[in-house]
Amino acid sequence: MMSHSDVRVRQITRVLMVVLPLLIIAGSIVAYSMSMSASNQPLPTQAGGSSATPEEIEIMISQGWKTLHFGAVVTPGEPGAYDDARVENPAVIRDGDTYLMYYSALSSSGEWCIAAAKSHDGLSWTKIGAVITAAMLVDAGYDVTGVWQPCVVKEGDLYYLFFAANLMQSWGKRRDTIFLATSYDGVNYDLVGPVLYPMRKGMEQAVWQPYVTKFGSKWLMYYIGNDYRTVPHTTRIFVAESSDLYEWTRLGMALQHALGEWDLRVFGLSAMVVDDVVWLAYSGERPLRSYAMSIGLAFSADGIEFYRSYHNPVLLKALEGEKARISDTSMMWEGGKLRIWYDGFDGQTVRIFYAELLPSPVNIRQVFIHRSVSYPNSITSDWICGLYDTIRIYFHATTTGWVWIEIWSEEDQEFIESWNFEYFESFYLGYCYYYYQPCKQEIYTLELAPVRAFRIVFVPDTSGTAEVSCWVVLS
């Protein structure tokens, strides 16, 4: 039996094991009806030139989301292929009736390149092949050993492909530098050269993962800057501005880590503009140096000062194939929903996944989707954040075990076990939180102070491996 000195209430229930009790089915109907109402949200129009109001930004950071994970859509190639080791860093654009994806590809021989694929729906992809290689840059006189992290925009008939390469600098260090290449067909590219160099000192000692979007009459480039003066090195998101996509002026920092939060370091990003609001999707790491990441959103009226969503992270590591990390997004607003491509890592293989976020009056998170765990190991969810009146948890596992909830303590800066019980069947569990007064649980009695973040933990019995699924409805 699991215990903790800080446990306030422990309720134990023993009932007969069932596969999917009627209560779970009822809960599924509730969640399904919520998702249907969510899909009827109005469709924003694409970017204009004037800034959004503070009220519009407040609406965006308060917006609830229903998440849907669709699984891997691009996987490593056959042995001997240019992408047989890794596929990651997707960048997707819609070009007429075709979707084009550019991504980082690694071969088993250790060679990085930028590859392309095409699709009619954004889900089923046909690989085109490598479009940028390190050899192309070496032939042009640049001392690099790899290329990665593409972003493409199309202006008129010309495709502009931005990417990072580890260029040898004049001070003797090999540092990521942002390059540009152009094409008239999206496949055959001509190298332009570096457009943004790292700085020898300061917060941008390497610059990488560019993402470009148009904001009014200007182009904005968001990118990661590495500060090697700290251990581990600090990563921040910066922004630069251009009128022609060739000459760029640095504007400063757009987003950095937040102490005591889920995003102790910020990584892979993408950006777009909808209704004069700049949307930024980014990856947050916790614990430090773990590279365990989930994905959040931030919004800006001017492209420089960003405000995080109240409900970050909005996309969790739910699938088995993404259990170690999700990061490096590409996003598009289409059909009344946010479409997101991202890379996921299960500890062995990096693949490109796809998910959708639907605007919703409540937050619905897929927490675990057929995740496996074996005794004595436990499975722990990502942070689930936000101030809610009601939290409903839907949980199912294929074996018995123990499940508990951990509440984030602002005072201790750690998660504290709040409640647990012995798991024998699938269940629907709802908490009704009434702030500044005792909280009554819908099924069991539980008193809690108001919470800002919690997570769900499960450990199976010694009987073997469990397959776990869980989602939450937050309102």
Model pTM score: 0.86
pLDDT of residue 393: 84
pLDDT of residue 43: 34
pLDDT of residue 475: 82
9 — pLDDT class (breaks 50, 70, 90) = very low
Between 406 and 82, whose confidence is greater?
A: 82
Q: Are the CB atoms for 139 and 147 separated by under 8 Å?
A: no
Between 26 and 257, whose confidence is greater?
A: 257
pLDDT of residue 107: 98
> Rounded distance, CA 141 to CA 307, Å?
42
pLDDT of residue 383: 94
Between 177 and 453, whose confidence is greater?
A: 177
Peptide bond into 287 cis (omega under 30): yes
386 — pLDDT class (breaks 50, 70, 90) = confident
Question: Which residue type is seen at 115?
Answer: A
For the cut 80, the answer to whether the pLDDT of residue 432 exceeds it is no
How crowded is the C-beta side of 402, counted as CA atoms within 13 Å? Answer: 19
For the cut 60, the answer to whether the pLDDT of residue 16 exceeds it is no
pLDDT of residue 133: 98
pLDDT of residue 67: 97
461 — pLDDT class (breaks 50, 70, 90) = confident
**Summary mean pLDDT of the chain:** 85
Between 11 and 137, whose confidence is greater?
A: 137
For the cut 90, the answer to whether the pLDDT of residue 6 exceeds it is no
For the cut 50, the answer to whether the pLDDT of residue 397 exceeds it is yes
**Average pLDDT of the segment spanning 117-142:** 98
CB neighbour list of residue 205: distance below 8 Å, 6 or more residues apart = 175, 198, 199, 225, 226, 227, 228
Q: For 8-22, 32-46, 259-273, 298-312, which range has the lowest pLDDT when averaged over its residues?
A: 8-22
**Average pLDDT of the segment spanning 325-342:** 97
pLDDT of residue 401: 84
Proportion of the chain above pLDDT 70, given as a percent: 83
> Rounded distance, CA 339 to CA 326, Å?
15
Longest CA–CA separation in the chain, Å:
71
N residues, the chain? 475
Q: At 175, list the tokens.
A: 């540092």
Integer CA distances (angstroms), 214 to 61, 87, 102, 183, 236, in order: 21, 27, 19, 19, 21
pLDDT of residue 279: 98
Q: At 230, list the tokens.
A: 């700290």
Peptide bond into 232 cis (omega under 30): yes
Highest mean pLDDT: which range of 45-54, 220-229, 383-392:
220-229
420 — pLDDT class (breaks 50, 70, 90) = low
pLDDT of residue 129: 98
446 — pLDDT class (breaks 50, 70, 90) = very low
Q: At 375, list the tokens.
A: 């005794």
